[in-house]
């Protein structure tokens, strides 16, 4: 795709995947022009650079991903959630680019879908809600991202990371959807004791509020990263009650309930859960390292 276009796994095991400096083929001239301009957009470059700098300790192969410490995790999250990153990467910047993206590439996103274009749109779209979700905390002041748990699949953390990385060290997007990585492993089938908590509400609210402001144009069912959100929403409503997500993106919730939305203090869990302490850092690294 674009020069220096790299996708890093939402966990910290995938490697940087460089590709050529070309936009997807077989698309309209207007869409091609827009993507070329997006490739050199100074505002977006500043935004991604700020995110990349904040999460630099969690790049693939770093010591922090191999042996995460509470201090390093806290430091990285503090950097990521700082006012300077928010200033350099405001929601308005992302929303504006998403709106312009749809205007220039509406056919490629909807009536004549192009997988590569949708992939780029997905990455851009996920920046803001993913950062918001990663910076959310529970009532005790613990970052929600540090509390991610493996689904009951019987796989070890290392095995999950290997699946997510895929055979070529590029992210396995099918696995991303299966594990609901943008939503930090939340699954609609979880029992109420694991699903009905403030972190679930905060993570879902991050995405729903963003979607209420700028709908996901191709339809969430076509999303590479967010396709399972309607099912997750319905599972939360069923398990936690219809008022559990009250006030969270009312406009978005209306679409999610019908499954038609056109549109994600540090706990010391080093040890058995160490692979998932870095989920948030790896998630943002995915976005920040997808430099157009």
Task: Assess if residue 20 is contained within a domain.
Answer: no
Q: For the chain, what is the domain count?
A: 1
- Domain assignment present for residue 137? The answer is yes
Q: Is residue 99 part of a domain?
A: yes
Q: Tell me whether residue 15 is in a domain.
A: no
Per-residue model confidence (pLDDT) at position 265: 31
Residue 59 DSSP label? S
* pTM metric for this prediction: 0.79
Which residues pair with residue 137 across a beta bridge? 143
> How far is it, in rounded angstroms, from Cα 18 to Cα 25?
17
SS (H, E, C) 169-221: CCCCHHHHHHHCHHHCCCCCCCCHHHHCCHHHHHHHHHHHHHHHHCCCCCCHH
Cα 84 from Cα 17, distance rounded (Å): 28
pLDDT at 25: 87
Question: Does residue 185 belong to any structural domain of this protein?
Answer: yes
Which residue numbers in the chain have pLDDT < 70?
1-22, 58-70, 150-173, 247-292
Q: Which pLDDT does position 40 carry in this prediction? A: 83
Task: Report DSSP state, residue 225.
Answer: S
- Domain of residue 148 covers 29-288
Check residue 143 and give its pLDDT: 86
21 is a domain residue: no
Q: Which residues of 196-217 are buried (b: 16+ CB within 10 A; e: fewer)?
A: ebebbbbbbbbbbbbbbebbbb
Could you tell me if 85 and 56 are in contact, meaning their C-beta atoms sit under 8 angstroms apart?
no
Residue 7 lies inside a defined structural domain of this protein: no
Q: What is the dihedral of CA 190, 194, 198, 200, to 10 degrees?
A: -30
pLDDT of residue 157: 54
Q: Is 290 helix (H, G, I), strand (E, B) or coil?
A: strand
232, 256 contact by CB (below 8 A) = no
What's the pLDDT at 48? 81
Model pLDDT, residue 250: 46
The Cα 289–Cα 284 span in angstroms is 8
Question: Per the structure block, which two tokens stand in for 101?
Answer: 């993206």
In a domain, 8, yes or no: no
What is residue 59's predicted lDDT score, i.e. its pLDDT?
66
């Amino acid at each position: 795709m674009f020069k220096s276009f790299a996708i890093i796994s939402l966990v910290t095991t995938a490697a940087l995947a460089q590709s050529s400096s070309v936009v997807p083929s077989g698309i309209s001239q207007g869409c091609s022009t827009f993507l070329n301009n997006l490739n050199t957009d100074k505002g977006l470059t500043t935004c991604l650079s700020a995110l990349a700098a904040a999460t630099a300790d969690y790049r693939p192969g770093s010591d922090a991903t191999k042996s995460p410490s509470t201090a390093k995790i806290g430091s990285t999250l503090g950097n990521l959630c700082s006012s300077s990153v928010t200033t350099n990467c405001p929601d308005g910047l992302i929303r504006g680019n998403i709106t312009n993206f749809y205007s220039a590439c509406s056919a490629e996103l909807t009536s004549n879908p192009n997988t590569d274009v949708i992939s780029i749109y997905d990455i851009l779209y996920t920046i803001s809600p993913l950062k918001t979700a990663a910076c959310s905390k529970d009532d005790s002041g613990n970052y929600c991202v540090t509390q991610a748990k493996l689904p009951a699949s019987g796989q070890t953390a290392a095995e999950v990371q290997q699946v997510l990385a895929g055979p070529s060290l590029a992210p396995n997007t099918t696995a991303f959807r299966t594990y609901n990585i943008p939503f930090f492993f939340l699954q609609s089938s979880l029992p109420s004791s694991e699903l009905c908590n403030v972190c679930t509400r905060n993570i879902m609210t991050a995405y729903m509020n963003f979607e209420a402001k700028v709908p996901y144009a191709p339809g969430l069912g076509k999303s590479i990263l967010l396709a399972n959100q309607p099912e997750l929403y319905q599972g939360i409503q069923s398990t936690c009650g219809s008022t559990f997500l009250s006030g969270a993106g009312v406009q978005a919730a209306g679409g999610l309930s019908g499954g038609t939305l056109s549109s994600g203090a540090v706990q010391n869990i080093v040890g058995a859960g160490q692979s998932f302490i870095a989920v948030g850092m790896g998630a943002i690294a995915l976005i920040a390292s997808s430099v157009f």
